[in-house]
């Protein structure tokens, strides 16, 4: 199976894993190991960068020689907020990579496209490698790609819903019309969802709740690893993607 390449950087795994909502830090570390990932995302607004109150900073627990860190702007509702959060992440974590989230609705957590495009433009001018979380909208994804984003991250379903890939045709269209990596972000609930997404030709999947919220997170992490590998191999074998849509 070929490796994932984003902005010239190569990753052995096509699975990006979040670091929140685990029962405890030990389970998180075990799940990351079981997933096979080498690329993890952390929320800069929720991150305890400094140990305190008897709690160890998550960044002191993560081996940065083993995992590349992708800070995200979760919890931001305006371009101004997101840009400031990304700048803080760059200073704190010494990376110019950012998963850009600009949320437009508290209930669904759908992106605010207008603010997302504005923030992307500002961060790109400021030298960031931008990976925007966006709707499964081919037009928006094409605009983000044309703007210079390193990848697009369309949702499969609302964040945390576990509803799977609700619009596989949209995902397939996005894959066909843009040349940068497509990473499905949000909504993947179980291993079959992950396999389907990969069979559609996406380059990778980002997930958190499906693993962290499982009754046995470590087992689910392993299941997701295998599903992504199987789905990608099926795609690379020349499987007709129309079958994946049935």
Which residues are part of the catalytic machinery?
99
Q: How many helices (H) and strands (E) in the chain? A: 10, 10
Asked if 32 and 66 touch (Cβ cutoff 8 Å), the reply is no
CB under 8 Å to 204, separation ≥6 — which residues?
A: 4, 11, 14, 15, 16, 181, 183, 184, 228
CB under 8 Å to 75, separation ≥6 — which residues?
A: 43, 45, 46, 85, 101, 103
Q: How many angstroms separate the CA atoms of 32 and 62, rounded?
A: 10
Asked if 150 and 130 touch (Cβ cutoff 8 Å), the reply is yes
Report the half-sphere exposure of 188 (CA within 13 A, side-chain side). Answer: 32
Residue 43: helix, strand or coil by DSSP?
strand
Q: How many angstroms separate the CA atoms of 139 and 145, rounded?
A: 10
Q: How many angstroms separate the CA atoms of 65 and 147, rounded?
A: 31
């Amino acid at each position: 199976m070929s490796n994932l390449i984003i902005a010239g950087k190569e990753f052995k795994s096509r699975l990006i894993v979040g670091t929140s909502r685990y029962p405890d830090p030990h389970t998180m570390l075990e799940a990351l190991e079981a997933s096979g990932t080498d690329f993890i995302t952390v929320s800069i607004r929720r991150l305890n960068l400094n140990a305190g109150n008897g709690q160890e900073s998550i960044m002191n627990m993560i081996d940065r020689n083993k995992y590349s860190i992708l800070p995200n702007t979760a919890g931001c509702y305006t371009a101004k907020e997101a840009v400031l959060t990304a700048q803080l992440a760059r200073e704190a974590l010494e990376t110019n990579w950012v998963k850009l989230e600009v949320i437009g609705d508290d209930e669904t957590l759908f992106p605010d496209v207008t603010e997302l495009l504005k923030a992307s433009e500002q961060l790109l001018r400021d030298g960031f490698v931008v990976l925007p979380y966006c709707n499964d909208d081919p037009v928006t994804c094409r605009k983000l790609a044309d703007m210079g984003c390193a990848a697009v991250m369309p949702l499969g379903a609302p964040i945390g819903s576990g509803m799977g890939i609700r619009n596989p045709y949209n995902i397939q269209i996005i894959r066909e019309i843009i040349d940068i990596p497509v990473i499905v972000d949000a909504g993947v609930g179980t291993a079959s969802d992950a396999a389907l997404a990969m069979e559609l030709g996406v380059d990778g999947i980002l997930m958190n709740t499906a693993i962290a919220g499982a009754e046995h997170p470590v087992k689910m992490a392993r299941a997701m690893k295998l599903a992504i590998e199987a789905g990608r191999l099926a795609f690379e074998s020349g499987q007709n993607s129309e079958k994946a849509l049935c």
